[in-house]
Amino acid sequence: MNSDSHPVVLVTGASTGLGLALARKLLPTPHRLILTARESSLPRFAAAGISESDRVWLRALDVTSAAERQRVVDEADAKWGGVDVLINNAGIAYRAVVEHITDDGRLDQMNINFRAPMELIQLVLPRMRAKRAGRIINLSSVGGMMAMPTMALYSASKFALEGATESLWYEVRPWNIHVSLVQPGFIHSNSFLNTRYTAASKRAHDDPASPYFHHYDRMARMIARLMNSTRHTHEHVAEVILRTMRQKNPPLRVAGTPDAHLFGLLRRFLPRGLYHRLLYGRLPEVKIWGGACEVPGAAGAKPNSSAKISAD
């Protein structure tokens, strides 16, 4: 095959973390690559030893910008005949309890994790349908199958991505377009340090007198501990993505790490009420949560140590 017949792979958020690990694994392959990142992040490619060539493009792409999305896809259509494999990797995470969610935070989270991948998919689908072939891989998360306290916005964005992707799986099968969700669990990295806060969640995180202080403090510690202790890296998940990309008939949902597989089994086979009670009981030091809570107008508020759960 000549170089023009090699599939074109577009990766978002490719300058750091999982996206960079995936880019490095794709470089030795014969694929034509469009590696994207925000304009301010493009120098990271050079720092990682990645440069442009006749089959590697480095393109500025703020995934929330309709103009930039259109520009990148139009260039791929005009020069390389369209995108054959779209990997929606770019994403962010907010830490905020529901009471501390703001409109700005909600829009930021949903625009990047849900709206942007859906609109990129809309742009690449016409060429894929014309070719009657294509692959779309959306990076979800364990947070897309189960929710954690203080991560409501993040889970909302991933739950939305999972639902839309499942619909898409049915819709485009007649054109031989394969759609998959890769669901990583905890990955050994410091990416938890990049978690965003709303103004209210940041204040509560820093204030031991806040009713939600223990929610933020204990969850942040637990997530840091799990991400620092796991042996599974971005490279492991990147290899899962590559295997999914190469499968003749990839599944809709793919566990990115062993813990994601375990959580999936728990959610599938445990009775729902037992599942939620089990996870609640495993929250870090949950008996002290809510100890500082005082509802205006309610006297004698007590800690939540003996709260009973029913999530049936």
Q: Exposed e or buried b for every residue in 121-158, given b needs 16+ CB within 10 A?
A: bebbbebbeeeeebbbbbbbbbbbbbbbbbbbbbbbbb
Q: Are 211 and 293 in contact (CB under 8 A)?
A: yes
Catalytic site includes residue 140: yes
Query: Is 94 an annotated catalytic residue?
Result: no
Q: How far is CA 216 from CA 151, 159, 224, 284, in A?
A: 10, 22, 12, 11
The CB-side HSE value for 72 (13 A sphere, CA atoms) comes to 31
Q: Find the catalytic residue in 15, 94, 141, 154.
A: 154
Query: Which of 15, 94, 140, 201 does the annotation list as catalytic?
Result: 140
Its sign, for the CA torsion 180, 174, 161, 84, is positive
Closest by CA to 99, choosing from 157, 165, 178, 152, is: 152
Which residue is catalytic, options 15, 141, 155, 158? 158
Q: How far is CA 161 from CA 140, 202, 222, 245, in A?
A: 7, 26, 25, 19
d(C-alpha 274, C-alpha 284), whole Å: 18
Q: 79 an active-site residue? A: no
Catalytic residues: 140, 154, 158
